[in-house]
Amino acid sequence: MHLFYTPAIEPSCQQYFLTEEESKHCARVLRLEKGAKLQLIDGRGGLYTASILDPHPKRTLLQIISVTHNFNKRNHYLHIAIAPTKNIERIEWFLEKATEIGIDEISFILCKRSERKEVKTERLNKVVTSAVKQSLKAYHPLLNEPINLNKLLTQPFEGQKFIAHCEKTGKTSIDAELKTGGRYLILIGPEGDFTTDEIDEALQYGFKAITLGESRLRTETAALEACFEVNFLNRKG
């Protein structure tokens, strides 16, 4: 069954018009006809089944058959704040993989040693949306605009806060600290790592320093490792 991402739909909807772009894709590209069944996700946990009432190429009308709320809702909330890499493709595949595995929110932090200061979140959001559809996620991860690290540090966050840095000392493993079923914010530094000042400031704001193992990991690999660990520990917990 073909899947559409329709953030505008509401659980109360009996019928729903696809957007012009979606209608074109549905009626012209996929050539779906009246009566064909579709799946819709709203990005907020809603998974809908619908059938086509009118396969109009600009305003396809759907009849909503059923809706499942909180589809595959996870038992935790993961927010990863990562310094964008020089090669943006590395961030793109992190977003794809993290979406497949399970993530709720991503922020791009600008650090002292960041090699990249600009991020086209609109384009990256398309990568996330396509991963959401490919892996049948009813929840669409939230992508935030780039923010300076020191500003992010001062923002309130209800949950456990971690910083993964490459300095040798003063770190614990995440599984020793993580409380399952919780909310987590994890900071991943740039290619050149966080500066000592940045780490100290994060610790002052209640972030706990964690290690992601002995291997020397690229920025995007470290972020994915953190994503894997949080989901794995919550699966077991």
Nearest of 109, 99, 159 to residue 134 by alpha carbon = 99
Which among 7-15, 41-49, 129-137, 144-152 is the span making contact with a second copy, rule CB under 8 A? Answer: 129-137
Nearer to a second copy, 42 or 220 (CB): 220
Looking at residue 154, its amino acid is T
Strand order in the sheet with 37-41: 2-5, 37-41, 47-54, 61-68, 15-17
- The C-alpha atoms of residue 47 and residue 31 are separated, in whole angstroms, by 22
Q: Is 39 in the site for a second copy (CB under 8 A)?
A: no
- The correct pick among 70, 173, 180, 196 for binding a second copy (CB under 8 A) is 173
Contacting range for a second copy; rule: CB under 8 A; set: 8-16, 32-40, 95-103, 182-190 = 95-103
Q: How many residues bind a second copy (CB under 8 A)?
A: 27
Measured in residues, the chain has a length of 237
Please tell me whether residue 29 adopts helix, strand or coil conformation: helix
Does position 224 interact with a second copy (CB under 8 A)? The reply is yes
Q: Should residue 181 be labelled a site residue for a second copy when binding is judged by CB under 8 A? A: no
For 201, the enclosing helix (H) or strand (E) is helix 196-204
Supply the minimum distance, in Å, between the C-beta of residue 147 and a second copy: 27
Q: Which residues of 77-94 are buried (b: 16+ CB within 10 A; e: fewer)?
A: bbbbbbbbbeeeebbbeb
Instruction: Select 92 or 198, whichever has its Cβ closest to a second copy.
Output: 92
Based on CB atoms, which residue is closest to a second copy, 52 or 97? 97
State the residues that interact with a second copy by CB under 8 A: 72, 93, 97, 100-102, 134-137, 173, 175, 213-218, 221, 224-225, 228-229, 231-232, 235-236
